[in-house]
Amino acid sequence: MTKINIKQLFSEVLKKGKGSHSPHMSIKVLSVPEIGKSAFYFVVSGKIIKKAVKRNLFKRRGRHISRSVKTKDNHIAIFFAKKGAGNLEHADYKAEILDLMKKAGILA
């Protein structure tokens, strides 16, 4: 079995992935049969959320939410934060992530 290069997968997801949008986030999803279990990544620019502590909190919460729901295997999903995402309450943040996952068709 060969090791999967994450940088190559990221660029492949950005080029070929299916996208969906919500008011504070967007998602790109690509089916990759070699990876097995689905992987979720969160990208937050310093322009969107200034402080690193808040950016890291945003990412941690997103990873927690994505792990807590049942999803289909063999997918890579990248979530991108938009302006105003740093001001979301946890419940609203969770609702947007689940809505984007539903639109992308990766919820089991």
Q: How many CB atoms lie within 10 A of CB 80?
A: 18
pTM for this predicted structure: 0.86
Return the pLDDT at 1.
Answer: 41
- Proportion of the chain above pLDDT 70, given as a percent: 94
Q: Are 68 and 27 in contact (CB under 8 A)?
A: no
Which residues have CB under 8 Å from 14's CB, separation 6+? 28, 78
Distance CA 16, CA 100 (A): 17
Q: pLDDT tens digit string along 25-67?
A: 999 998 888 777 888 899 999 998 899 999 999 999 999 998 8
- Proportion of the chain above pLDDT 90, given as a percent: 33
Structure tokens at 84: 């105003």
Distance CA 88, CA 82 (A): 11
Return the pLDDT at 79.
Answer: 92
Return the pLDDT at 4.
Answer: 66
Three-point CA angle 55, 82, 19, nearest 5°: 115
Please report, for the chain, the start and end positions of each structural domain, with discontinuous segments joined by +: 6-104
Q: pLDDT tens digit string along 59-88?
A: 999 999 988 989 888 888 999 999 988 888
Return the pLDDT at 2.
Answer: 56
CATH of 6-104, picked from 3.30.230.10, 3.40.50.300, 3.30.429.10, 1.10.3720.10, is 3.30.230.10
DSSP class per residue in 66-81: HHHS-B-SSEEEEEEE
Q: What integer is the mean pLDDT of 8-22?
A: 84
